[in-house]
Copies of this chain bind each other. A is one copy, B any other.
Amino acid sequence: MTRKADRDQIRRQNRSIILKALRRQGPIARIDLGQITHLSPATVTAITSDLLAQGLIEGIESEEPKAPQSRGRPRSLLRINPDAACVVAIRLSVNAIDMSLANFAGETFLNKRVPFDSASADAASFPMLLIETIETFVGEAAVQPDSIREIGVAAQGVVDKGSGMVVWSPAFAGRNIPIVAPLTKAFDAECILSNDTNMITEALHWIDPARYSDTFAVVMLDYGVGMGLYLDNRLFEGANGMAAEFGHSNHIPGGALCRCGKRGCMEAYLSDYALVRAATHLPETTDPKEINAGVAGLAALIARADQGDNDALTAFASAGRVLGYGLARLLAILDPKRIVLTGAAMRAFRFMEASMYRGLEEALVEDLRQNYEIDVMPWNEDFIRRGLVAQAMDRLDKDYLGTETRKIASPRNRGAAA
C-alpha cells in the first residue's frame, strides 16, 4: 500500500526542489526560483529564509550587479553555501583508489589517486586499508572530519547494496569485501556502495536531464562490461542492488569462457580480454586470467585496427555483432528510449558499428526496433565521480528535512560567511 501523506512531506519535497535548483542554476534570485519550481514567490521566500537560517544557503552581497541598467528593485541572488557539508566520493578500481572531496554545492575541490595492490586485497585486509587511505586524504585536505556527511563508494563488478559488500570485483582478489559497515563505523557519515556504471547513469541524468530521463540504459565496455539502468525516471538497482549485470547475462549457451567461470557470457565476447583473445586466435576456452589485456591491451588492439590489421578488425566486428544481440535483448525486455554506449572500447566503435546494427536486425523483430536511439558517449572517467556526488547531494538534501543542521564547519578559509 502507498504510504500516507502528511504536510511534512510537502515541505521536505519543496525544500529539496529548491536546493536542487540552487545547486544546478548557480546563484539565482528568488523570483527565478519561483519560475523554475512553480512555487509562489511567497513560498520561495518562506523556504529560502528557512534555509538561510539553517546556513544551507547564503545571499550574495555582490557589489557589481551584472545587469547595470534595469529598473526596479535589484534581485538579490542566493546560492548554496558550499561549506554547509562535505562528501567523499570514492572509486575502487583495479590497483587504484580514487578519492574526491566535494562541497555542498557539488563542486569537487580535491582529488587524489592512491595505488594499492588489487591482487592481495581481500575482506580481511582491505577495509582497514581503505579507512586509513581515506583518513590520510581527509587529513591532507584540512577538512574537519565531522563535516563529512556522506561517503559514496563505487566499485566495478557485483555489489550487494543490502549488505554493503562488494561481492565480486576485478579490483579485488577476495570476495564479499565489506565496505559500508567499516566506513560507517570509522566515520560519522552515511555510507553508500554503488555499482560504477550505475553512477555513470546517475551522472548522465544529472548532466543532461532533458536527454537522459525516463527510461534508458547505459552499457559500458571497458575493463569488463557494465550496465546501468534508468527506468521510469529513476535509477534501477534491482531487489538486491545487483541488477544490470549485462556482462554476465548469457549470449551463447556453452560459448566462450568468461572470467566468472561460466560459458557464453556477454563479457566473454565484449571485454578487453575477449577482444584480445579473439584477435590473437586463442581458443574461446582460454582462461581470461592468462590473457594480459586490460585497458592497455585494448588500446593496443584499437591501434592495430586503426592501421587496418585484419585480426583486430575481425575481432571488433564479431564483438559488434554480439553487442547488437545484447542490445536487442535489452530492447525486447525493457523498451528503453535510449541506449548509451560508453567505455574505453567505444574508441573502436567505428569498427563495431556496422556489425552491431546487423546483429540488432538479426536478433529483433522490427516492431520492437522502432522507438529508440543509440548514443555513443566518449568515455570520461569523471562521470563516476560526478554520479557519486550527485547521489550524495540528493541524499543530503533529503536529510536536511527539518532537523537542525549540524555545526557548519569551514574547511577552507572562505570569506563569505555572511
Query: Contact check: which of B4, B238, B330 meets A14 at CB < 8 Å?
Result: B4
Nearest B residue to A264 by beta-carbon distance?
A: B363
Once A238-B215, A238-B335 are accepted as A-B contacts, the answer to whether A262 and B362 lie under 8 Å apart by CB is yes
A368 within 8 A of B: yes
Tell me which residues across on chain B come within 8 A of A244, comparing CB atoms. Answer: 333, 335
Stretch touching chain B among A126-134, A142-150, A227-235: A227-235
A100 within 8 A of B: no
Query: Contact check: which of B13, B227, B238, B248 meets A365 at CB < 8 Å?
Result: B248
Q: How large is the interface on A (under 10, 10 to 19, 20 to 34, 35 or more residues)?
A: 35 or more
The answer on a CB contact under 8 Å between A362 and B236 is no
A296 within 8 A of B: no
A208 within 8 A of B: no
Q: Which residues of A, 278-310, contact B by the 8 Å Cβ criterion?
A: none
Compute how far the CA of A250 lies from the CA of B2 in the bound complex, rounded to whole angstroms. 36
The answer on a CB contact under 8 Å between B10 and A239 is no
A273 within 8 A of B: no
Tell me which residues across on chain B come within 8 A of A365, comparing CB atoms. Answer: 248, 258, 260-262, 265
A417 within 8 A of B: no
Stretch touching chain B among A16-24, A60-68, A91-99, A401-409: A16-24
Compute how far the CA of A227 lies from the CA of B227 in the bound complex, rounded to whole angstroms. 22
Tell me which residues across on chain B come within 8 A of A371, comparing CB atoms. Answer: 239-240, 242
Q: Which residues of A, 314-341, contact B by the 8 Å Cβ criterion?
A: 325, 328-330, 332-337
A125 within 8 A of B: no
When all copies of this chain in the complex are counted, the total is 2
The answer on a CB contact under 8 Å between B337 and A239 is yes
Cβ proximity bits A355-397 to B, threshold 8 Å, 1 near / 0 not: 0000100111101101110000000000000000000000000
The answer on a CB contact under 8 Å between B362 and A253 is yes
Once A16-B2, A250-B363, A365-B248 are accepted as A-B contacts, the answer to whether A232 and B242 lie under 8 Å apart by CB is no
Nearest B residue to A37 by beta-carbon distance?
A: B4
The answer on a CB contact under 8 Å between A10 and B13 is no
Tell me which residues across on chain B come within 8 A of A1, comparing CB atoms. Answer: 17, 20-21, 36-37, 209
Tell me which residues across on chain B come within 8 A of A231, comparing CB atoms. Answer: 231-232, 236
Compute how far the CA of A334 lies from the CA of B2 in the bound complex, rounded to whole angstroms. 23
Query: Contact check: which of B17, B175, B328, B333 meets A2 at CB < 8 Å?
Result: B17
Once A7-B7, A363-B264 are accepted as A-B contacts, the answer to whether A215 and B232 lie under 8 Å apart by CB is no
Q: Which residues of A, 251-275, contact B by the 8 Å Cβ criterion?
A: 252-254, 258, 260-265
The answer on a CB contact under 8 Å between A215 and B239 is yes
A-B pairs, 3 with minimum CB distance? A238-B335, A239-B337, A5-B10
9 A-B pairs, CB-CB below 8 angstroms? Answer: A1-B36, A4-B38, A5-B9, A6-B10, A240-B371, A243-B333, A253-B359, A253-B362, A254-B362
